[in-house]
Structure 1
Amino acid sequence: MTMQKPLAGIMTFADPREEMYESMDWLKDFLRDSHNGLINQLKKKADLIDGKVNYSIKESKENVKRLIKDGMESLILHVSAWTFPSMPLLAANMAKFSGIPSILYGSGGLSGLTATKGALEEVGIKVKVIWGNLKKITDFLNAASVQSKLRGMTLGLFGGLSMGIITGTIDLAQWQKKFGIIIEHIGQVEIIREAEKVSQDSVQSFINWMNDNFKELIYDGKYVTDETLEKQVRCYLATKNLIKRYDLDFAALKCQPELSDHYVNQCLTPTFLNDPFDAEGLKNCMVCSCETDANGALTMQILKILSGGKPTLFMDILLESIRKKLVVCGNCGGSSTWWANRSDDPVINLKSVTYGPHIHGKAGGGAIHYISAPAEKVTWARIARIDGKHVMYIIPSTIPELTEKQINKILNLAPQLKAWPLTFIKVECDLKELIQEYPSQHVHLVEGDYTSDLVETCELLGIEPRIRGP
């Protein structure tokens, strides 16, 4: 799993009058040190392109052109002393024409900072002014990286509307205009056709790997047979091939009811696409939502980018305990197994994962079962479209550690809970109010607290953030 950081340019702006440095011979050292100091403080959180200390319009123009050419996703306008506001204004304007947002950061006197802010506003460039708070800078850099990376991405939709779940549907033109994302519709028949081409050696090698690493593979002779498992593996490998062929960046898969009733359920596909590993070795996670939930896939893709590539989780809200502020979530057959123990080593994760009979789907096939490991911090998020406008629910949460008695009590509430992957989420908000207003049955998680990053991301993407937390 390759962890990716945002790519940002940083330019410091100085007073172009040479006589200033004759009367204040310490000033150039101060500007250089403040510039290098900011780079050193940020380099653990971002990959930085050095735009240098700029002493003229000419230098500003040359350096911002170089930063744009080198692929910066955002631009830090650093003002630590007086400068001519026309210099950072030029840089910000050139970045804006290339679709690159800027942030204005001050680390010294305020006159140059405030004068620059006013100049930017005069020409309609909206920027945040940050003074001394590096966390806010990194939030912005992460958000700008999301915006930049989404532009030009392709979402592959395998199949159409699933089971009438309209909350996963989107306006293709709106997505292209707002996010820069292209939609590729692919018929599910392509999965079947491609599955038939997968070599028997590849299929058997994958099944052997599952046998060697899963806690248990349970065959019941009805839902799970040698034939249905082989079909499921073929479909996963086929979908991997199709993703490569169509050059997809993330995906959403219908499955129900056509494939689950007339071919085989697709539970292994979202399971292993979202994992950082499979039988072929370590890999980058490929976001794939179930039930062609495009809004869910976009939420997961944003969480993946913000976290540097971590596996994301796709589940349904199943049960709740208002008193304990606990939500029981599960997926009807497949979710990233990484969450079982949150290790990039499949041996460690899969020893807690069972593959066994599904409880629905006429064509048969297995489901995976595990219980997500406790986590001190997770971020629950969901993009929705309410009356044509995008909102994002952002819910900082935890995965608590439950006793074996508590877990068994939950598992005995419904038979499917023993067949599906499960996650127990504890929220800090009013759970009753959250359930009343939450706009979907689908839940999306990433490990860690990305609340402030998501708020910045929503601001850049034109999404209304709705934080539900303490």
Structure 2
Amino acid sequence: MARIGVVSISDGRDHVHARNAEFIQSKQDGLVRTLTAAGHEVVTGAELVATNTLASSVTREVAAAGVDVTIFYYAVWSFPHFTMLAADATRSPLILVASTDPTEPGLVGMLAAGGALDQIGRTHTRLWGAPDDGELADSVGVHARAASAVASLRGSTFGRFGGRPMGMNTAVANTDQWMRQFGVDVEEIDQYELVLRAEKADPSEARKAREWIEAHAAGVHYDGKKLTPELLEKQIRSYIAVREIIGERKLDFSGIKGQPELTEHFATMDVTEAFLNDPYDWNGPKDVHVTSTEADMDGALTMQLMHKISGDPVLFADVRHYHADRDIWDLCNSGQHATWYAARSADPAENLAKVNFYPEVFFFPAGGASVQHIAAPGEMTLARLTRNDGRYRMQLMLGEFESYDDATNEKLVRQSTPEWPHAFARLDAPGEVFLSKFGANHIHAVPGDRRSEMRAVAAQLGIDLDEWTRG
């Protein structure tokens, strides 16, 4: 959950504030209890703001606590210039919350303050309700989770293994723009470092991991050429190497180019990317490390935001095919769907029981295992940060992953590449709209309806929202 600051704004007349102080405090206390019960950490101002000096000093103290979002709370009529001073004392996203108790004009105070902020162009969100209103707490939570995700980007480092893959412009972003707009640095790492480290990685761990995969997967389909135990262990050693580099260079999220150098001459990165994105490996539970295939920078940035909001692994896929007769999309990519998506279970064995490791196809002469499964069904949020004439936009929609009987699944996967992972998605967007307007070949997804948080992310980052629905 998020860290939320709460600053209550009062009337600037001494005798009015003296009369209202107990009322304001009781409303604030109720709001804090509700937010705390929802799982948030709440930092409150040391005093109620009733002077211009307190407006600045109290808000600075709250800001210094590293809050993700700041609530300015209006239980009574409040002098609007206090809000202006308070807003200038923090850089966090702002939520103006009004009490709806009709005995005092809290709504009036919020509207006057919000109008003043509009005049100076300070973005903010307005909410209202009783302190114990569950819907109010949910709305605050949406914006707070979004703010926490956005704040997590600042000061983070993206590890970019290799350069632009196969001329793919949408996989490469301007590092100056990333730092200016998102606060993200990019650490460039040559793929040769990965190769050298993989050659030196612990062979006993690679053997342990291979045996673990063989014991738990639906199948490891060795063919003696494109997939052998030795090639699978090379892929595992690549995972170990990247994991070590992540630790040494303090990387927060990453992308691996892979094609064509590694896929032609070393091994594919499918196993590496799948398990980096998983919340476990053969050593037990671990943190998800968001990693994009083909070093897709905007893809990884989208995934990092979605992961920070949801806490779940994030799916990465090509938009491979549109089955117009069924109105479903085949989201399929050699790189990775994290194995977690096979069953979305906390138990790795349950997921891996639905995962096959197949020999790589003709695209990749170096060989290795492709991590294949069909994503488990359920409601999904699909999104992608893309750029239009240099300006970022959040392309967003709701969807549903579907799975069918074995014969239908087999028929569908054989129409594209059966050795690769697939997610069959019914999107809440007409096919002609999607194909005409979507700004990349890669798309990303997390379980559930997270559109509210993604809308808030777009607003807080000051980027355009391009949301699609039917009807």
Structure 1 length-normalised TM: 0.92
2:89 equivalent to 1:87: no
Q: Does the 8 A contact of 2:49 with 2:58 survive in 1?
A: no
2:16 equivalent to 1:20: yes
Q: How far apart, CA to CA, are the structure 2 residues paired with 1:238 and 1:269?
A: 9
Q: Aligned residue for 2:241?
A: 238
Letter in 2 for 1:13: I
Q: Aligned residue for 2:112?
A: 115
Q: Does the 8 A contact of 2:7 with 2:49 survive in 1?
A: no
Look up the SS of the partner of 2:45 in the other structure.
Answer: strand
Which stretch shifts more, 298-307 or 141-150? 141-150
Cα shift readout 1:167-221 (whole Å, capped 9, x = no counterpart): 1111111111111111111000000111122122221121122122212211100
Q: How far apart, CA to CA, are the structure 1 residues paired with 2:87 and 2:17?
A: 26
Call closer, same or farther: CA 1:61–1:223 in 2, change over 3 Å: same
Q: How far apart, CA to CA, are the structure 1 residues paired with 2:394 and 2:402?
A: 24
Q: How far apart, CA to CA, are the structure 1 residues paired with 2:241 and 2:451?
A: 36
Q: Does the 8 A contact of 1:254 with 1:290 survive in 2?
A: yes
Letter in 2 for 1:274: N
2:259 equivalent to 1:256: yes
Q: How far apart, CA to CA, are the structure 2 residues paired with 1:458 and 1:55?
A: 30
4+ long deviations beyond 6 Å: none
Q: How far apart, CA to CA, are the structure 2 residues paired with 1:42 and 1:262?
A: 54
**When the two structures are aligned, how many residues end up with a matched partner?**
456
Shift of 1:323: 4.2
Call closer, same or farther: CA 1:118–1:468 in 2, change over 3 Å: closer
Structure 1 alignment gaps of length 5 or more: none
Q: Does the 8 A contact of 1:35 with 1:52 survive in 2?
A: no
Q: Does the 8 A contact of 1:35 with 1:53 survive in 2?
A: no
2:71 equivalent to 1:68: no
Q: How far apart, CA to CA, are the structure 1 residues paired with 2:120 and 2:376?
A: 51
Q: Aligned residue for 1:56?
A: 50
Q: Does the 8 A contact of 2:293 with 2:335 survive in 1?
A: no
Q: How far apart, CA to CA, are the structure 2 residues paired with 1:312 and 1:401?
A: 19
Q: Identical aligned pairs, as a percentage?
A: 31
Q: How far apart, CA to CA, are the structure 1 residues paired with 2:282 and 2:326?
A: 39
Correspondence for 1:46 among 40, 44, 48: 40
Alignment of 1:342-361 (within 5 A): 342-360=344-362, 361=364
Q: How far apart, CA to CA, are the structure 1 residues paired with 2:156 and 2:183?
A: 7
2:183 equivalent to 1:189: no
Q: How far apart, CA to CA, are the structure 2 residues paired with 1:18 and 1:420?
A: 70
Structure 2 length-normalised TM: 0.92
Look up the SS of the partner of 1:194 in the other structure.
Answer: helix
Q: How far apart, CA to CA, are the structure 2 residues paired with 1:156 and 1:71?
A: 25
Q: Aligned residue for 2:466?
A: 466
Correspondence for 1:215 among 213, 218, 232: 218
Alignment of 1:288-437 (within 5 A): 288-307=291-310, 309-360=311-362, 361-375=364-378, 377-414=379-416, 416-417=417-418, 419-437=419-437
Q: Does the 8 A contact of 2:2 with 2:41 survive in 1?
A: yes
Call closer, same or farther: CA 1:124–1:166 in 2, change over 3 Å: closer
Look up the SS of the partner of 1:138 in the other structure.
Answer: helix
Q: How far apart, CA to CA, are the structure 1 residues paired with 2:461 and 2:21?
A: 38
Q: How far apart, CA to CA, are the structure 1 residues paired with 2:128 and 2:31?
A: 12
Shift of 1:124: 4.3
Look up the SS of the partner of 1:54 in the other structure.
Answer: coil
Q: Does the 8 A contact of 1:267 with 1:367 survive in 2?
A: yes
Q: How far apart, CA to CA, are the structure 2 residues paired with 1:340 and 1:226?
A: 23
Call closer, same or farther: CA 1:33–1:324 in 2, change over 3 Å: farther
Q: Does the 8 A contact of 2:403 with 2:409 survive in 1?
A: no
Shift of 1:53: 5.6
Q: Aligned residue for 1:439?
A: 439
Call closer, same or farther: CA 1:171–1:359 in 2, change over 3 Å: same
Q: Does the 8 A contact of 1:325 with 1:428 survive in 2?
A: no
Q: How far apart, CA to CA, are the structure 2 residues paired with 1:125 and 1:337?
A: 43
Q: Does the 8 A contact of 2:21 with 2:48 survive in 1?
A: no
Q: How far apart, CA to CA, are the structure 2 residues paired with 1:166 and 1:45?
A: 41
Call closer, same or farther: CA 1:404–1:227 in 2, change over 3 Å: closer
Q: Aligned residue for 2:182?
A: 179
Correspondence for 1:31 among 21, 24, 43: 24
Structure 2 alignment gaps of length 5 or more: 130-134
Letter in 2 for 1:440: A
Let me know the Cα RMSD of the aligned residues.
1.9
